[in-house]
Chains A and B, each alone.
Chain A
Amino acid sequence: MGIAVETSLDVSPLVIGGREFRSRLMVGTGKYASNSDMIRAIEASGAEVVTVAVRRVDLNRSNEEGILNHLDPNQFFLLANTAGCYTADEAIRYARLARAAGFNEWVKLEVIGDQETLLPDTAGLIEATRTLAAEGFKVMAYTNDDLITALRLEEAGAVSVMPLASPIGSGLGMLNPYAIRTIKKRLSVPVIVDAGVGTASDACIVMEQGVDGILMNTGIAAAADPVRMATAMRQAVEAGRLAYLAGRMPRREIAVPSSPLTGMLDS
């Protein structure tokens, strides 16, 4: 009921690479305590796009089985990532493997440059974006909050640029709102903030910058109650989007009374 009203107020649907998506919140599937927690949290988030990673099958079956045993690919839009890749060539190989799974030609491209911060190797990222876009991939490129890199990714053919709010898994929220706003203003492709959102207020503030959506994983998966947090994140993304569309009041350094100054009693 509430959701329907809010959706109708968000007049512009999210369109990326020619495809319309029903939710501006995208979620990861990693780090959940159990698969049933994961499914319930994803359903509560209202997300349509869910990210997955490509890894070797454990031939000794000591690790968890594949996620498609739990996640229905008809219910969600699977967005494979190249997490853990440190070179363009490696990321390209993972993207091609993911595409061969046969679901779609989309990839959340990560080329990591540093193990401690998981910040991107921007040169490798741009190179891999160019190669994959030429092969027909729809590349959503995870990057830092640097405008020039974002512009180069767009030129290289990315269908979406995904600047971080703060480092992956840090939960520090948005460290540089100016940078995120600037990227959004300058790019033509949708800007989806990826990584660093720790709680609902973080998500709300990110959306208030005018970006097109948010992708998060740890902020939900590592909450004490992921289903509650997923619900909070869904509402925060919607609230932040509506607040952005509504246009906030100007900030003032002085108070302005909200009640009439006239009609007061004699003292």
Chain B
Amino acid sequence: MITLTVNGAARELESSNSTIAGLLGSLAIDPRLVVVEHNRTILRDKAAYASQELEEGDVIEIVHFVGGG
């Protein structure tokens, strides 16, 4: 297991599944509807989610569009 900070809270992820795609899958999040920031770097290429490895202590933000003015 590795421990990440995801949207401000600690969250554990299986080491065997430690990619962005793996994290989104474990959270049941559709990658098409979100934007991911990894250690303050925005991941603009969703195709790279599957290969983007995560490490202990990484900080992830997962955002989406909500109602606003």
Contact = CB atoms under 8 A, between A and B. Distances in A.
Query: In the complex, which range does the number of interface residues on chain B fall in?
Result: 20 to 34
User: Interface on chain B toward A: helix, strand, loop, or mixed SS?
Assistant: strand
A57 B69 contact: no
B6 A59 contact: yes
Q: In this complex, which of A59, A80, A96 has the most chain B Cβ atoms within 10 angstroms of its Cβ? A: A59
B42 A68 contact: no
A52 B33 contact: no
A56 B63 contact: yes
Interface residues of A, number: 35
B42 A97 contact: yes
Contacts of B69: 28-31, 51, 53, 81, 83, 168-169, 195, 215-218
A170 B69 CA distance: 13
B62 A30 contact: no
Interface string B41-69: 01110000000000000000111111111
A55 B35 CA distance: 10
Given A56-B8, A57-B7, A100-B42, A30 B65 contact: no
Interface of A: 28-32, 38, 51-57, 59, 64, 66-69, 78, 80-81, 83, 96-98, 100-101, 168-169, 195, 215-218
Interface of B: 6-9, 11, 27, 29, 33-35, 37, 42-44, 61-69
21 contacts: A28-B69, A30-B67, A30-B68, A31-B69, A52-B66, A53-B67, A56-B8, A57-B64, A59-B11, A64-B67, A66-B65, A67-B65, A69-B33, A78-B65, A80-B65, A81-B68, A83-B69, A97-B42, A97-B63, A100-B43, A101-B64
